[in-house]
Amino acid sequence: MAKLHILRYPDPRLHTVAKPVKEVDAHIQQLVDDMIETMHAADGLGLAATQVDVHERVIVIDTSDMRDDPRVLINPELVFKSEEMSFSDEGCLSVPQIFDKVKRHARVKVRALNRAGETYEFEAEGLLSVCVQHEMDHLLGKVFVEYLSSLKRDRIKTKMIKKTRDELRA
């Protein structure tokens, strides 16, 4: 396994729209394993392939308490979205140390392929529902800060550019 580099906002590659996976082969399984390692190492709840500059529809999520139960979502689709919406604080490994409230569907039902390439479905609410919607946005080239006001977004952009520059200097 290998840890992958996570793109940081406002890297334009984060706005790439991912393509469906044609076949869950050894190459995709390796990507999945590397993404899980990268997510756990960065202490994230989820990671989309877009964030590691691979533009295929692959997501990993781990909202388990022990951080030992990763879910793999390949070619995910929402087969149900509740009309009820809810607000919660979101963060993102591509936008470190920034948290803000985003409105999402309170409950969703997801259909995806797992690491073995088998179709499965699950219903999600609460944190898992938020994670699924957040990560699926990444596959469409959308970062959560795009739900915020342009004023806030510009501030975050400036902060991230400065942070990246400071780290390169250090």
Smaller CB separation from Ni ion, 28 or 52: 52
> Are 74 and 113 within 8 A, CB to CB?
yes
The CB-of-75 to Ni ion minimum distance in angstroms stands at 19
Give the burial class of 100: count Cβ atoms within 10 A of its Cβ; 0-12 exposed, 13-18 middle, 19 or more buried: middle
Q: Does 18 bind Ni ion (CB under 5 A)?
A: no
Q: Which of 21, 92, 128, 131 binds Ni ion (CB under 5 A)?
A: 92
Our answer to whether residue 135 is catalytic in this structure is: yes
- Judged by CB under 5 A, how many residues of this single chain contact Ni ion? 1
Locus of tokens 């756990």: 40
DSSP characters over 34-97: HHHHHHHHTT-SEEEGGGGT--BSEEEE---TTS---EEEEEEEEEEE-S-EEEEEE--TTSTT
For the window 35-74, what string marks contact with Ni ion as x by the rule CB under 5 A? ----------------------------------------
Contact window for Ni ion (CB under 5 A) among 1-9, 11-19, 84-92, 112-120: 84-92
Of 121, 125, 135, 146, the active-site residue reads 135
Smaller CB separation from Ni ion, 73 or 92: 92
Give dist(CA 21, CA 124) in Å, integer. 23
The CB-of-26 to Ni ion minimum distance in angstroms stands at 26
DSSP, collapsed to helix, strand or coil, labels residue 9 as coil
